Structures are given as C-alpha cells and as structure tokens.
Amino acid sequence: MERLDDAALGGLESVLRAECGMVLAPSVRRSLGTALTRAAEAQGLPPLDFLHRLLARDTGAVESFIGYAVIGETYFFRHPEQLRELARVASVHVGPFLVWSAGCASGEEPYSIAMALLTAGLLPEHIRVVGTDVSGRALDKARQGVYSPWSVRRMELALERRYLTLRPDSVTVPTEVRARVEFRRHNLVTDPPPLSGAQAIFCRNVLIYFPPETIRTVLKRLVAALAPGGWLFLAPAELPFTRGLGLEEQMVEGLPVLRKPLTGPLPVPPAEPTPPRGPSRTPGAPLQMVPVVHAPPAVASLAASLPETLAPAAPSGPLVRDTLEQARAAARAGHFEQAEAFARLAARELSPEAYLLLAMVAEQRGDVREAVACVRKALYLEPQLAIGHAMLVALYGQLGQADEAERARRNALRALEGLDDELVLRGVEEMTVGGLRRALVPGVKMGKSGAR
C-alpha cells in the first residue's frame, strides 16, 4: 500500500500503546507500514481493509499486527557476560532454579538461559525457564525451536555442537533443552507477573519502549516476582529507571546487574526520585554491593580516571548533547585529549554516541583494539546502532579480521532495514541511511572512522 500518512501512523501507534503500552521512537515509527502490510497478508486481507479492522480494535487484527510490529531482534547468547554471571550464581544454588525471560520474542534468550544453566551443572529437573511475550506469533516460533543460522552468529562453536542440531539452512533446539523452557503469552503492562519466587529475571531492551510512568509500574512487578536475593538483568540504558527501588548493584565484567536484597522490605519509591550523585568506583577496587542511588556506573572506572578539573557532575539531558558537541569540536580541532575527557563525561550517562567518539579517539592514537572495545560498548547500549556496526567494519579491517568485518557489515545492513534513505542516523557525524547503505556495498572502502 502507499506510504501511511501521519493520521494512520498515529492510529497504529495508539493501538500499540493501548494494547502493549509501547511508545515508539520516530525512527521506528516508519516501520509500522511494513508491519501493517505483512500482518494484512498473513490475514489474507487488503492492507486498507486490515487497517480499518485494526483501528476498530478487531481482536484478530490487533493480535496479528502486534506480532509483526513488536518482535525485536534477538539471537542465541546475545549477552554472554550476563549468562556467565547467571551460571556462576546458579552453580552454588541448592534446589530448583526459576528464571523468567520477559519479552522473549522468538525464544533465543530463554533457550540460551537453559543452556547456560545446564552448562553450569544444574540438574535438568531443577531448571525451569519461563519465556513470555505479548506476541502470539513470536511464541509460536519459539515453541517450534527451529531457527536460521543467523540466530547463532555469536554463539560459541562448542556450545552450538553441544546443544543444537545443525543443518546447512537451520538450527534446531533439541528436546532436552526445550523441556526446560515454558512459553506463555503475557502483557507486561496489563497482566500480573506469571510467576513468583524467580531466582533471576531477564527483561532487556523492553522497558525503553514504555513511557516513564509505565516503566515504574512494570519494574515494581518484576521486583515483586523475584525471590529475595534474586537477580534482575536489564539493558544499561534501562538502569536509571530502577533508582529508588531498593535494589543492590554489582559490577559484572564492567557492567552493572541488580539484585533484590536478601532481607528487609523494599522502600516505597518516590514518584520522581532525585537521588544525589554517588562516588565513582576506583579502577581495580574490589566489587561491592551498594544501593542504587546514583547514575549507573557502567563506565565509572573511566570517569574516575579523569583529571579533577575535567570531572564535574555527570551531565544529563541537554547537557549530554552539549558535552558531546564540545567533544566533537575538540576532536575536529585536533585536541584529542580534551575530546576524550568530554566524551568520558557523556559516557557516564550511558550515551552510545560518546562511546563512538571514544572509539575514534582511541583509533586516532593507534589503539585499534581499544577502539573496537568502545564501539562494542556503544552497541551494548544500543544494539541497532548502524553507525557502530559500520565502524566495526573498518576497525576489524585494520586488524585483518575479515570474517568479523563481514559480520559487522551484515549487522549494519540489517540495522538499516525498513528505514528511509533520507533519515539521519545517530552517530558522531551526520550520515543518512542511504549514504551508509551505499558505503556498505562490498568493495567500497571504509575509512578510519567508518564509511567514506
């Protein structure tokens, strides 16, 4: 069908907000037309007829549309550092071990959790993983346990061979792993928790689609579903919303995870908490459990290394943008130490662009591996950051890692799917979707900081 006008897009957004509580970013909003067309085809209806049914809140149309509109990208062992921590915790646990994967999409995450727990040596009968999602279509795929090879692109080969049945065009989750996972349809916004007493809950890159008032409600439900001492795994960008919930924080491989206290009631969070800025963690200091009352210290060790004259309170909101602009200006002028200092300040507020700028500075001084590490932190915060994937193409090329460079190129192209060519991408320097697509064509030379 023709491109949807603003009124139609607004109607589709209202459906998602009413049914799922979702609020979409402008760049994602444009993909709703594609979701509408695919859902209409699945229902055997012309797109316009399907649109009318959808806006009239026809149950079948709504369920079909949600299935095509909210499925996020996922793959096996997407965040191995969190799974390693889960395995460590589980290895000393006695008795049944319950994990909830909230917003599990097509199921790769809950299956990865089950594999991690089996690898940790838990008895199969003690492992129970519950995967939930609002999309019935996604859950149908999850229950089948059959995926394309693309879903194992980051999985270690030894784990692939141990737990999956591999074929040239598919991978299948075997019965012994599938038996440990249960899938349920569940709406995080409108439904009560599907379980209680969980040892761990994974809810990554889901809360960012909700408005702030809804996020607080969902987080309270997640915390209530945890057993005392249970762990909550969120995306770094979602951690600021947990302030005031009384959770403890621990650093795992340089990134924070949250834990429900073993004893004592959780305090009632204020409606609009304004916690004081806490001290940064000194590099090399022992890990400590501390209440979450400060900005998430995913990069606290970086901030702590700044000269005192360049380390005021971490910027937030518009100040982050101003700090990034100062960093860009310093970099353009060749003042790379100053650029790095400003970028580190912005990184303390978990800005993906700040990490991209830190990568450029590291590359400028010849530390390509550090540049790769910085880009990977940016992608950890925002996995669909196309500019970040494109930068990895150039960086891996400098390291002579052709396979990794090609994988990064494919990831960048996938991140651009469904976006208009004229859309300006997030990154350090301005670039449109169309410009980056052209730069990612095989054979086009990628410059030091990305596409040229």
pLDDT tier at 67, thresholds 50, 70, 90? low
Question: Can you give the pLDDT at residue 213?
Answer: 80
- pLDDT digits over 355-373, tens only? 898 998 888 888 899 899 8
pLDDT per residue over 50-65, tens digit each?
Answer: 787 877 777 767 766 7
DSSP assignment of 87-139 equals HHHHHT--S-EEEEEET-TTSHHHHHHHHHHHHTT--GGGEEEEEEES-HHHH
Measured between alpha carbons, how far is 440 from 410 in angstroms, rounded to an integer?
9
Residue 3: C-alpha distances to residues 30, 143, 207 (Å): 9, 34, 29
What percentage of the chain has pLDDT greater than the value 70?
Answer: 76
The pLDDT assigned to 99 comes to 98
Over residues 75-93, mean pLDDT: 89
Cα dihedral: 396, 400, 402, 405 (round 10): 10
- Residue 297's nearest CA partner among 249, 362, 368, 353 is 249
Give 81 or 292, the one with higher predicted confidence.
81
Q: Residues 190-247: pLDDT tens digits? A: 899 999 999 999 998 788 777 778 888 999 999 999 999 999 999 887 888 898 899 9
Q: Give the orientation angle of helix 352-364 with respect to helix 336-347, to 10 degrees.
A: 150
Helix (H) or strand (E) holding 331: helix 318-332
Give the CA distances from residue 25 to residues 4, 55, 85, 151, 428, in Å, rounded to whole numbers and listed in that order. Answer: 17, 20, 31, 25, 19
Closest by CA position to 307, among listed 348, 342, 352, 336: 342
**pLDDT in the model for residue 66:** 65
Q: What average pLDDT does the chain have? A: 77
Q: How confident is the model at residue 27 (pLDDT cuts 50, 70, 90)?
A: very low
- Of 396 and 430, which is predicted with more confidence? 396
- The whole-model pTM stands at 0.52
Work out the average pLDDT over 71-75. Answer: 65
pLDDT digits (tens, 9 = 90+) for 243-276: 889 999 888 777 788 999 986 544 444 443 433 3
Which residue would you say has higher pLDDT here, 381 or 19?
Answer: 381
pLDDT band at 26 (very low <50, low <70, confident <90, very high): very low
The helix or strand, by DSSP H or E, that contains position 437, with its residue range, turns out to be helix 433-439
CA–CA distance, 271 with 268 (Å, rounded to integer): 9
Token pair recorded at residue 292:
């979450």
Split at pLDDT 50, 70, 90, the class of 20 is low
140-168 pLDDT, tens per residue? 999 999 998 878 877 888 888 899 998 88
- What percent of the chain shows pLDDT beyond 90? 29
The residue-averaged pLDDT of 315-325 equals: 61
- Whether pLDDT at 289 is above 80: no
What does the alpha-carbon distance between residue 94 and residue 76 come to, in Å, rounded to a whole number?
A: 27
Ordered alpha helix ranges (H), 185-229: 212-225
Tell me the CA distances in angstroms from 263 to 85, 99, 194, 266, one per residue in order: 22, 20, 23, 9
**What is the reported pLDDT for 321?**
66
- The amino acid sitting at 382 is E
Nearest to residue 77, comparing CAs of 147, 156, 7?
A: 156
pLDDT of residue 274: 37
Residues paired with 165 in a beta bridge: 172
Of 202 and 341, the one with more pLDDT: 202
pLDDT at 278 > cutoff 50: no
Instruction: Return all residues near 315 (Cβ < 8 A) that are at least 6 apart.
Output: 322, 323, 345, 346, 348, 349
